[in-house]
């Protein structure tokens, strides 16, 4: 059974957790209620069962409860907001649970137009089957669910690798919000490929080779990913089920990297792929940031070469790029000791907050403290938002309410200002990156602005 509900818009008022059993007095059964967070532009959600919190979960994560029993429950989801503001209610559902039933709720769409997709399936009691079987059980059961609002009807293929959809039949053909029938298969290595319905030559999703365990039930949920394939999000899948609950990246989604040059007085550089001498990023000078470029997935050696002496390899970096990943290559140091550091980027835009990240590329500052304050605040009156950001590393994304802030960097453990206050105007859905770099004076920092701050 499936269902679909459009939710009220959130705009205007504003890695993965497993299922947990928060109500220990419920009768034992093989049931489960679980939720998947598949709204790319919403941050952390809280799942509530009958007014009791089951905990938080972020995009691509899950929350839920095992053994919900036979009855009716109110299940609600709240959006956590930055700055200590009270959460916003996203959705409230009345869910009738049953013994040996699996209820799956997918929160999908966008913050402006969120939707819920609900599916009901039988929950197989594998423990009882194993206990009552005289032989080893070597099978598992699988099903597929389509919760990708950005895609039309899809065909799902499952089989041994390499899997050719043009020579195979789909195990499921689904429209948005559809759930497939359960299929029993032998455990072992398999691959999943997804194509538009009726078009096996156009692959929109390809998994890694998967080692699927026996005696379990797996639901593979398709949803909209973060990266765009033209104007359409790349498709992502995650599995739900005992012993194999994973986000499964799309091998087709490109990996991308950019470079920022914070090594004063060291001249311009080319970033070059070692294996074939291909220039990935060319002629980047101090204070500049390159656009993102596609980089090969897997492990590759990247050389940094001086534009003035292209035969000289200044330094090298082993870059391991996963499908769909973004990264910033920080070029930092002093003229005689230049280094490259890969810093992974989280470029997800959040409709309910601004996201700010700081990278310490100032070689003369082994560590800095970061202050993001209400305008006019003295740093002597507050604690840093982040302390001890070491060179050459970056923070994770910090979430803020939309508004104006004073930005200050100080020598770590002191109140000695190295730069600032600099006024930053942050907006919801904004993505902001600040790179600290060495100034002419050793006790001062200059700033390089990336992303929305560079506009």
**Integer Cα distance of 144 and 156 in angstroms:** 8
Q: Where are the domains of the chain?
A: 1-123, 135-253, 254-345, 348-455
In degrees, to the nearest 5, what angle opens at C-alpha 26 toward C-alphas 23 and 32?
Answer: 80
Tell me if 401 sits within 8 A of 82, measured CB to CB: yes
At a CB cut-off of 8 Å and minimum separation 6, what does 361 contact? 260, 262, 330, 332, 391, 392, 435, 436, 437, 438, 448
| Closest alpha carbon to 350 in 298, 399, 277 | 399
135-253 placed in CATH 2.60.40: yes
At a CB cut-off of 8 Å and minimum separation 6, what does 424 contact? 356, 372, 404, 405, 406, 407, 432, 453
For 68, 132, 224, 373, 406, the CA distances from 96, given in Å and listed in that order, are 10, 30, 28, 47, 50
Beta bridge partners of 238: 221, 247
Residue 311: asked if its preceding bond is cis (omega within 30°), the reply is: no
Reading the chain (455 residues) residue by residue, the pLDDT tens digits are 445 444 433 333 233 334 443 444 544 567 889 999 999 999 999 999 998 999 999 999 999 988 887 889 999 999 999 988 999 999 999 998 888 899 999 999 999 999 999 999 999 889 889 999 999 999 999 999 999 998 999 999 999 999 999 999 999 999 999 999 999 999 999 999 999 999 999 999 999 999 999 999 999 999 999 988 888 999 999 999 988 899 998 999 999 999 999 999 999 999 999 989 999 999 999 999 999 999 988 898 999 999 988 888 999 999 889 999 999 999 999 988 999 999 999 999 999 999 999 999 999 999 999 999 999 999 999 999 999 999 999 999 999 999 999 999 999 999 999 999 999 999 999 999 999 998 888 889 999 999 999 86
**Hunting for tokens 């890695």 — which residue is that?**
15
348-455 placed in CATH 2.60.40.1120: yes
Tell me if 108 sits within 8 A of 74, measured CB to CB: no
Element (H, E) at 130: helix 126-132
Beta bridge partners of 56: 46
| Chain center to CA of 77 | 20
Q: Do domains 1-123 and 348-455 have the same CATH topology?
A: yes
Q: The domain 1-123 is classified under which CATH number: 3.90.105, 2.60.40, 3.30.2290, 3.40.449?
A: 2.60.40
Element (H, E) at 143: strand 139-146
Beta bridge partners of 191: 159
Given the DSSP bridges, would you call strands 431-438 and 445-451 parallel, antiparallel or unpaired?
Answer: antiparallel
| pTM score, whole prediction | 0.88
- Interval 81-131: pLDDT, tens: 998 899 999 999 999 888 889 999 999 999 999 999 999 999 988 988 999
- Interval 316-338: pLDDT, tens: 999 889 999 999 999 999 988 99
For 253, 404, 421, 422, the CA distances from 354, given in Å and listed in that order, are 26, 11, 19, 17
Q: Which CATH class is domain 254-345?
A: mainly beta
- Using the 8-state DSSP alphabet, how is residue 323 labeled? T
| Closest alpha carbon to 239 in 10, 7, 18, 13 | 18
Q: What Rg, from alpha-carbon coordinates, does the chain have? A: 25
DSSP notation for 61-83: -EEEEE---SEEEEEEEEE--GG
């Amino acid at each position: 059974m499936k269902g679909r509900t459009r939710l009220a818009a959130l705009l205007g008022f504003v890695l993965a957790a497993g299922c947990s059993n928060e109500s220990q007095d419920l009768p034992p059964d093989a049931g489960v209620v679980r939720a998947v967070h598949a709204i790319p532009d919403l941050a952390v959600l809280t799942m509530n069962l009958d007014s009791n919190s089951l905990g938080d979960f972020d995009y691509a994560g899950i929350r839920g409860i095992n053994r919900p029993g036979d009855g009716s429950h109110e299940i609600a989801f709240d959006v956590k907001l930055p700055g200590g503001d009270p959460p916003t209610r996203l959705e409230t559902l009345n869910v009738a649970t049953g013994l040996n039933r699996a209820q799956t709720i997918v929160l999908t769409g966008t913050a402006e137009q969120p939707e819920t997709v609900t599916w009901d399936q039988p929950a197989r009691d594998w423990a009882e089957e194993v206990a009552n079987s005289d032989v080893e059980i070597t099978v598992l059961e699988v099903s597929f669910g389509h919760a990708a609002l950005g895609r039309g009807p899809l065909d799902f293929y499952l089989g041994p690798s390499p899997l050719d959809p043009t020579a195979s039949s789909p195990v499921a053909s689904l429209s948005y919000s559809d759930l497939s029938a359960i299929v029993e298969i032998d455990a072992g290595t398999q691959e999943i490929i997804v194509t538009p319905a009726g078009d096996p030559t156009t692959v929109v999703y390809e998994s890694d080779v998967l080692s699927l365990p026996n005696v379990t039930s797996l639901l593979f949920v398709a949803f909209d990913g973060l990266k765009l394939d033209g104007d359409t999000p790349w498709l992502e899948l995650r599995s739900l089920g005992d012993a194999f609950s994973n986000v499964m990246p799309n091998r087709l989604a490109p990996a991308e990297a950019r470079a920022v040059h914070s090594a004063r007085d060291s001249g311009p550089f080319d970033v070059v792929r070692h294996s074939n001498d291909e220039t990935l990023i060319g002629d980047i000078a101090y204070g500049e940031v390159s656009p993102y470029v596609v980089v090969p997935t897997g492990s590759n050696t990247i050389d940094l070469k001086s534009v003035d002496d292209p035969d000289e390899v200044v330094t090298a970096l082993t870059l391991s790029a996963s499908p769909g990943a973004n990264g910033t290559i920080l070029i930092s140091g002093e003229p005689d000791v230049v280094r490259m550091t890969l810093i992974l980027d989280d470029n997800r835009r959040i409709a309910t907050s601004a996201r700010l990240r700081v990278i310490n590329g100032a070689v003369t500052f082994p560590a800095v403290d970061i202050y993001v304050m209400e305008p006019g605040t003295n740093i002597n009156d507050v604690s840093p938002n982040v302390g001890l950001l070491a060179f050459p590393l970056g923070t994770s994304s910090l979430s803020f309410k939309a508004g104006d802030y004073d930005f200050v960097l100080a020598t770590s453990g002191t109140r000695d200002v190295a730069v600032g206050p600099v006024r930053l105007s942050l907006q919801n859905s904004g993505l902001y990156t600040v790179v600290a770099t060495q100034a002419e004076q050793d006790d001062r920092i200059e700033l390089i602005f990336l992303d929305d701050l560079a506009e």
